[in-house]
Amino acid sequence: MSASSKLPIVQMDSAEDLAQRLADAIVEKLQSAIDADGKASLVVSGGSTPKPLFEALSQRALPWSAVTVTLADERWVPESDSDSNATFVKTHLLKDEAAGATFVSLYEDQKTPHDGVSLVNERLKGVPQPFTVVILGMGGDGHTASLFPDAPGTEAAMTETQSLVSIVEPSTVPQARITLTLRALMNTDCQFLHISGQEKRALVDEVLGDPAQSTYPIAQFLQATNQRITIYSTH
C-alpha cells in the first residue's frame, strides 16, 4: 500500500459542518504558530469550495493581525474582475474578526503574468515561511492550485526550485494563471485538501489507490506531501 493511500480523511455530511471542522483545525494551527513565533502564514485557494470555510474563519477570534494570508494561485485579473481570487478572499475571509490579517496578492497590474511574476515573487519572500497552513482545492480534471494537467507551464511549476511562483497558461480556463510552485506548496508541515462532492472524492480515491500510475497533478502533489496533508471531504 502506498504511503499516500494512508492519508487521513475527515468526512462530514454537509459543506457547512466540514467548513466548521476545518476552520477549527486551521485556527488551532495558526494559534500555535503565533504562540511560538508571534506570527503565522496561511495560504488559501480560490474557486467556490472555500466560501463556507472563509466565512467560518472570518468569525473566529484569533490574533489575526499576526497572520499573513496569501493565495496558492491567482487568475491574472485585477481585483475589479469577478474572477479574482484576491477579491473572493477579501469578500469572504478578510472581514469581521479576520479583517486585521495582512493579505499578500499574487497579481501585479501588468498586461501578462510574464511581466509581473518577478515582482510577485519578491513580494512573496516577505510572507513567513515555512507556511503555517496551506489549503488546497482540486478541480474535476485533477488540478490543484493552478497546476493544470497538460497545460503550458505546469511541468515547470512542478520542478521549479528557485522562484516561489510560476506561470501556467491552461487552454481550459479563461485567464493565464500565476501559481505557487510545487516546491513552495510543500514548504509547510500542515496542508489541507478541501473538496466537496462525490465526483472529486472518487477522483481522490482513484489517485490514492495508485498515485504513481496517475497523470493528474493532484497525484504528484499527494505523492510529494509525505503525510503533511489531511483531506477534508463532504463525501
Q: Which of 48, 80, 82, 171 binds ligand 6PG (CB under 6 A)?
A: 48
Q: Which of 34, 64, 73, 219 binds ligand 6PG (CB under 6 A)?
A: 73
Q: How far apart are CA 191 and CA 43, in angstroms?
A: 9
| 70 in contact with ligand 6PG (CB under 6 A) | no
Q: Which of 43, 72, 134, 204 binds ligand 6PG (CB under 6 A)?
A: 72
Residues 6+ apart with CB under 8 A from 130: 187, 188, 189
Q: φ and ψ at 230, to 5 degrees?
A: -120, 135
Contact 110, 120 (CB under 8 A): no
**Closer residue to ligand 6PG, CB minimum distance, 73 or 169:** 73
Contact 164, 70 (CB under 8 A): no
Q: How far apart are CA 31 and CA 117, in angstroms?
A: 31
Number of residues that bind ligand 6PG (CB under 6 A): 14
Q: Which of 144, 163, 191, 225 binds ligand 6PG (CB under 6 A)?
A: 144
Contact 122, 163 (CB under 8 A): no
Q: Which of 85, 121, 154, 188 binds ligand 6PG (CB under 6 A)?
A: 85
The piece of 30-38, 105-113, 120-128, 132-140 that touches ligand 6PG (CB under 6 A) is: 132-140
| 161 in contact with ligand 6PG (CB under 6 A) | no
| 217 in contact with ligand 6PG (CB under 6 A) | no
| 154 in contact with ligand 6PG (CB under 6 A) | no
Q: Which of 2, 16, 39, 47 binds ligand 6PG (CB under 6 A)?
A: 47
Q: Which long-range contacts (CB under 8 A, 24 or more apart) does 113-119 make?
A: 113/76, 113/167, 113/176, 113/177, 113/178, 114/167, 116/76, 116/178, 117/163, 117/165, 117/166, 117/167, 117/178
Helix (H) or strand (E) holding 41: strand 40-44
**Closer residue to ligand 6PG, CB minimum distance, 45 or 233:** 45
Give the three-state DSSP class for 73: strand
Q: How far is the CB of 83 from ligand 6PG (least distance, A)?
A: 8
Residues in contact with ligand 6PG by the rule CB under 6 A: 45-49, 72-73, 85, 137-139, 143-145
